[in-house]
Amino acid sequence: MRIGVDTGGTFTDFVFWRDGRLESFKLRSRPSAPDEVIAEGLARAGIDASSDVVHGSTVATNALLERKGARAAFITTEGFADLLEIGRQNRERLYDLTPGPKRLLIPRDLCFEVAERAAASGDIIRTPSTRELIALRRKLLDSGARSAAVCFLHAWAVPGNELAAAAALGHSLDLSLSHEVCPEFREYERASTTALNAYLSPIMRAYLERLEKRLGARVWIMQSNGGSITVAEASRLAVKTILSGPAGGVRGALETARASGYSRILGFDMGGTSTDVSLADGAPAETLEARVDGLPVKTPMLEIHTVGAGGGSIARIDSGGLLRVGPESAGADPGPACYGSGTVPTVTDAHVVLGRITAGQLAGGALSLYPERSVDAISRIARELSLSPAKAAAGILRVANATMSRAIRVVSTERGHDPRQFSLVAFGGCGGLHACEIADELGIRTVLIPRLAGALSALGMLLADRIRDYSASVLDGRDISAAFAGLETRALSDIPGARLERFADVRYRGQSYELTVPWSERNPARLFHALHEKTYGYSSPRREIEIVTIRLRARLAMPKPGLRLTPARKGEVFPQRRVFTGGAWHALSPRTRDAVPARWLRGPQLILDEGATTLIPPRWRVRLGPCGNLLANVVD
């Protein structure tokens, strides 16, 4: 058996395949002990040691965002100790005349220099002395550092000096070598990625060792690129897991949409603390130039944009008297007011006040609900705005919708894609409650809500293949065919039987940016010219091109459940209740997903799943698709 586990900020989701059926449930997350919750979930599912657990972890993400990583040092070439602090000269906020200081992962007093030098041509000009490296080892031990990032100039082409430093520094520190973490040119991005890995790997390793010991099952970890890797790989290359959980959602959204005949989708994952949006035009959009919390990460990642708007996002009135929602979140503890512990008004509390969430809907009824606490919390906001609680709650949701609509425009309109040509795939515990309203704002006419919408990230992990990415910059003039052959030898040694895919970063000579295209031995320029035209609106077929970096992806297909097999359940229609939607109160009879017919059913409707709720407003209609997905369209 394989089971997908997604640890979120509010809930931990479990999806597994048993007896021809996909099953799912949720448990309340405990940020202080996520491994304990996972162990409880596996015990409940009856998972034994022969099973495979594919896990989307937020450990690396949280350690980075909360600045709770390991105490790490940075070791670099003499004269480059300020590399992480100087970075690039680009100004992210052009009109900010007094930008604040950078939030550095590694302080300046933990940045050390080594007298060594290599040339980009492949020549070692100066090797580090053994005496200097022994002295450096003493300094590192005295500093209290748990790990160190070693990033020498041009080590992507000449790794010998980094290997010599690693041998001399011994096993007393957890070392991240730049030629292993990011074997590519551009020293700042390579240094930043390697420093991130050194900062996160000790935390990730400790967590995964504890998790494996507690579970006793084989554990695989979801990467930011949408594939899974072993625990050993994730412990050594923790930087590849920064978007572990959201990547599972992208994979799950695309696969469930394909099962219903859709391949051009906008993924909309609204959870408890944040919303992740993505675009897939037949395949998920990827990036090699991601920034996480302002830091460049040069490793293949699915292109996911995150905003602080989720079910736990806190509503407040700012100093100017305007209503704000997020990015602060009530999280899992204390959570929204309706959970029984919190007191602040949140997006979830707004839905409770508007009748969209009632007792028995959260976590399949496993989580108690206290509606009166939501009314008290929202009423405080309402009094400040001189509004009724219902209008204040509706205002909170409109503000949250505006934030999420802007996020979708970032991955669509700002990338040259018209969102009206895509379908919106909504998931996460709150996605279905907002999807149609957001689609209205963006002009999207079709919304799809997958059967396991509340746990789709965990399903995506269950559907993930095993993937490893390899790269090598070739600006030093090395033979490209030989370089690919070297990467392929490594890949097949790591993952025997894997399918290999070749890519290359290409640019016009003189450009300072590249585009990644599938590699063609015969005509590498043809695909590049076409992609350049699509991306930037022009191409120059007569200009000379330059191959900058080659890339290899090794993919090993893993067993997957059949998404077209729909569990046979008896639908249920519940007594009427008042629900606020479309600017007015409506008397609705909520129903379970399996009580939605295959023919179109006009809104307003409220559809209840075990881990999520879907709202179909007026002017929309909904039906149940052949794979159990809900399909919603605008009524003309």
Q: Which 3-state string (H, E, C) describes 259-282?
A: HCCCCEEEEEEECCCCEEEEEEEC
Residue 630 CA, distance from chain mean position: 24
Which amino acid is it at 152? F
Residue 363 confidence (pLDDT) above 60: no
Q: Which one has a higher pLDDT value, 177 or 27?
A: 177
Q: Using CA atoms, how far apart are residues 259 and 628, in angstroms rounded to an integer?
A: 10
Same domain for 190 and 94, yes or no, is yes
Instruction: Specify if 98 maps to a domain.
Output: yes
Confidence at residue 590, expressed as pLDDT on a 0 to 100 scale:
93
Alpha carbon distance 450, 425 (integer Å): 8
The predicted structure's pLDDT at residue 300: 93
Whether residue 510 sits in one domain with residue 385? no
**CA triple 208-212-214, angle to 5 deg:** 115
Calculate the CA 340 to chain-centre distance: 30
| Residue 618 lies inside a defined structural domain of this protein | no
Q: How far apart are alpha carbons 503 and 484 in whole angstroms?
A: 10
Q: Are residues 85 and 197 in the same domain?
A: yes
Residues 480 and 360 in one domain: no
On the 0-12 / 13-18 / 19+ scale of CB atoms within 10 A, 567 is exposed
Question: pLDDT per residue over 300-337, tens digit each?
Answer: 999 999 888 888 899 999 988 899 998 888 876 788 99
**Closest alpha carbon to 549 in 519, 521, 526:** 519
Does residue 3 belong to any structural domain of this protein?
no
Assess contact for 329 and 552: CB atoms under 8 A: no
Residue-level pLDDT at 95: 86
Please tell me the least confidently modeled range out of 92-96, 116-120, 248-252, 389-393.
92-96
The answer to whether residue 172 scores a pLDDT higher than 90 is no
% of the chain residues with pLDDT over 90: 68
| 389 and 475 share one domain | no
Average pLDDT over residues 241-253: 92
Q: Identify the band that residue 28 occupies on the pLDDT scale cut at 50, 70 and 90.
A: confident
Has residue 567 got a pLDDT over 80?
no
pLDDT tens digit sequence for 454-493: 889 999 999 989 999 999 999 877 899 999 999 999 999 9
Q: What integer pLDDT is reported at residue 215 of this predicted model? A: 87
Mean pLDDT, rounded, for 258-262: 91
How high is the pLDDT of residue 358?
A: 83
Both tokens of 156, joined, read 């992507």
As a whole number of angstroms, the distance between CA 76 and CA 510 comes to 28
Looking at the fold, whether 199 and 86 belong to one and the same domain comes out as yes
* Average pLDDT over every residue of 292-299: 88
Give the residue with greater pLDDT, 456 vs 571: 456
Distances from the Cα of 185 to the Cαs of 80, 91, 151, 367, 373, in angstroms? 15, 22, 11, 51, 55
Q: How confident is the model at residue 416 (pLDDT cuts 50, 70, 90)?
A: confident
The per-residue pLDDT for 564 is 58
Regarding whether 198 and 76 lie in a shared domain, the answer is yes
Query: Band of the pLDDT at 535, cuts 50, 70, 90?
Result: confident
- Residue 112: inside a domain, yes or no? yes
Q: Which of 529, 556, 583 is the last residue of a domain?
A: 556
pLDDT band, residue 569 (cuts 50/70/90): low
Task: Say yes or no to pLDDT of 410 above 70.
Answer: yes
Banded pLDDT at 365 (limits 50, 70, 90): low
Residues 493 and 374 in one domain: no
| The residue type at 365 | G
Q: What is the domain range of residue 376? A: 313-399
Q: What is the mean pLDDT of the chain?
A: 90
Distance, CA of 21 to CA of 350 (rounded, Å): 34
C-alpha triplet 360, 361, 364: angle, nearest 5°: 80
Q: Kindly give the residue spans of alpha helices, DSSP state H, lying in 171-228.
A: 178-181, 187-215
pLDDT the model gives residue 362: 57
In a domain, 575, yes or no: no
Compute the Cα dihedral for 351, 355, 361, 362 and give only its sign: positive
- Are 353 and 382 in contact by the 8 Å Cβ rule? The answer is no
In a domain, 629, yes or no: no
pLDDT of residue 360: 62
Predicted local distance difference test score (pLDDT) of residue 467: 95
Q: Is 369 or 331 the better-scoring residue by pLDDT?
A: 369
Residues 171, 213 contacting (CB under 8 angstroms): no
CA 218 to each of CA 54, 97, 232: distance values in angstroms, whole numbers, following the listed order: 9, 52, 11
- pLDDT at residue 359 greater than cutoff 80: no
Regarding whether 507 and 388 lie in a shared domain, the answer is: no
User: Do the Cβ atoms of 106 and 149 come closer than 8 Å?
Assistant: yes
How many domains are there within the chain? 3
Measured CA to CA, the distance from residue 302 to residue 460 in angstroms comes to 13
CA distance 22 to 17: 5
Q: Are residues 376 and 478 both part of a single domain?
A: no
| Per-residue model confidence (pLDDT) at position 406 | 95
No. of helices (H) and no. of strands (E), the chain? 16, 35
Helix 431-442 / helix 389-411 crossing angle, nearest 10 deg: 70
pLDDT of residue 364: 53
- 183-195 pLDDT, tens digit each: 999 999 999 999 9
Which has the higher per-residue pLDDT, 374 or 97?
A: 374
Q: Are residues 193 and 81 in the same domain?
A: yes
Tell me, yes or no, whether 44 lies in a domain. Answer: no
Of the candidates 208, 238, 258, which is a domain's last residue? 208
Residue 576 in any domain: the answer is no
Q: Where does a domain end: 510, 539, 556? A: 556
Long-range contacts of 137-140 (CB under 8 A, 24+ apart): 137/168, 137/169, 137/170, 137/172, 139/112, 140/73, 140/112, 140/169, 140/172, 140/173
**Gyration radius of the chain over CA positions:** 26
- Residue 361 has a pLDDT of 56
